[in-house]
């Protein structure tokens, strides 16, 4: 459910569209955090990189990962301190989390972060109610019997204004849930009472060196996560999708930071109402 972090890390911090000279550049705290319904919170902390920095590989990001921060999360009635842990193969390979607090639909959570050399950061996030999928189907992709596309269906509840997005994780291939491409949905475009159908492309991960897939294989075990979110978080994903397209075109480039909701830092803290389903394409 991440990959915004590495994008935020490498975007130039602009001030009135004026260039920031290297000698004047001061790193900022970068936060990527979320809490899903029925799951533990995840917080990743790094420092921003100067626009003039030269990154030759993912290993060059290691010094920007913050491992000595104090991270607290409150649900309004109690507070827990998140502990840092290493996750081999993940990017970044260090997160703050706790099994002492799980996300609950309808609740608002407050996050506070203290890291040496940076301003104290804080943010809040609300978890909307999850919406179930009514089904996932598969169709053959290309001229073989081994490649597939997935389509998910759901019924948008009437009387609510919801925002939706899918994430996927292929067992043995992905370390985390990754955002599927170009599928952010504002239910203003949906027909009330009519089932919606969405093409579910494989999730994409930045800076991993892995080839970006256009389909699934017969033997893939695909973990699908269907999320509701607040308008604030949806706006962030909307800009991210636009920037991801721009980044794939050599003649275009990013011109601004992604929007965020963290006071005192770059980045975001999101709450997601999640419905999850596991599928094997060839068995649907």
The tokens describing 223, both together, are: 């973990």
User: In whole angstroms, what is the distance from residue 233 CA to residue 258 CA?
Assistant: 11
User: In whole angstroms, what is the distance from residue 277 CA to residue 133 CA?
Assistant: 8
pLDDT at site 209: 53
pLDDT at site 242: 77
Name the nearest CA neighbour of 120 among 82, 79, 72, 153: 72
- The 10s digit of each residue's pLDDT in 31-72 is 999 999 999 999 999 998 877 766 555 566 778 899 999 999
Per the listing, tokens 């979110």 go with 229
Residue 198 pLDDT greater than 80, yes or no: yes
- What does pTM read for this prediction? 0.88
User: In whole angstroms, what is the distance from residue 11 CA to residue 154 CA?
Assistant: 35
pLDDT at site 176: 87
User: What SS3 state is found at 138?
Assistant: strand
User: In whole angstroms, what is the distance from residue 196 CA to residue 5 CA?
Assistant: 30
Residue 10 pLDDT greater than 50, yes or no: no
| Beta pairing partners, 31 | 45, 267
Q: Count the residues in the chain.
A: 284
The tokens describing 83, both together, are: 């502990």
CA 159 vs. chain centroid, Å, equals: 27
- The 10s digit of each residue's pLDDT in 57-68 is 556 677 889 999
In this prediction, residues 265-277 reach a mean pLDDT of: 97
pLDDT at site 120: 97
Residue 163 pLDDT greater than 70, yes or no: yes
User: In whole angstroms, what is the distance from residue 22 CA to residue 267 CA?
Assistant: 22
* Bridge pairing between strands 29-36 and 266-279: parallel
Domains (range + CATH), the chain:
4-128+230-252+261-272 (no CATH), 133-229+275-283 (2.60.40)
User: In whole angstroms, what is the distance from residue 140 CA to residue 280 CA?
Assistant: 13
């Amino acid at each position: 459910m991440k990959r915004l972090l590495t994008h935020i890390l490498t975007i130039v911090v602009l001030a009135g569209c004026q260039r920031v000279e290297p000698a004047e550049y001061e790193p900022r705290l970068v936060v990527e955090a979320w809490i899903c319904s029925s799951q533990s919170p995840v917080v990743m902390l790094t420092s921003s990189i100067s626009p003039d920095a030269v990154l030759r590989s993912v290993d060059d990001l290691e010094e920007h990962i913050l491992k000595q921060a104090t991270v607290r999360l409150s649900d309004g009635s109690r507070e827990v301190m998140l502990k840092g842990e290493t996750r081999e193969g993940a990017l970044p390979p260090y997160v703050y989390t706790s099994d002492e607090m799980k996300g609950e639909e309808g609740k608002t959570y407050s996050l506070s972060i203290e890291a040496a050399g940076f301003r104290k950061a804080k943010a809040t996030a609300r978890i909307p109610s999850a919406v179930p999928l009514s089904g996932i189907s598969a169709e053959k992709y290309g001229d073989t019997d081994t490649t597939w596309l997935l389509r998910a269906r759901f019924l948008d509840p009437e009387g609510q204004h919801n925002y939706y997005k899918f994430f996927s994780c292929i067992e043995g291939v992905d370390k985390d849930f990754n955002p599927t491409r170009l599928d952010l949905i504002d239910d203003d475009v949906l027909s009330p009472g009519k089932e919606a159908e969405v093409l579910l492309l494989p999730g994409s991960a930045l800076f991993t060196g892995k080839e970006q897939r256009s389909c699934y294989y017969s033997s893939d075990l695909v973990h699908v996560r269907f999320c509701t979110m607040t308008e604030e978080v949806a706006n962030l994903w909307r800009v991210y999708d636009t920037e991801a397209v721009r980044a794939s075109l050599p003649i275009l480039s990013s011109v601004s930071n992604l929007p965020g909701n963290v006071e005192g830092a770059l980045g975001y803290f999101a709450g997601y109402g999640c419905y999850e389903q596991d599928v094997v394409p060839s068995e649907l």
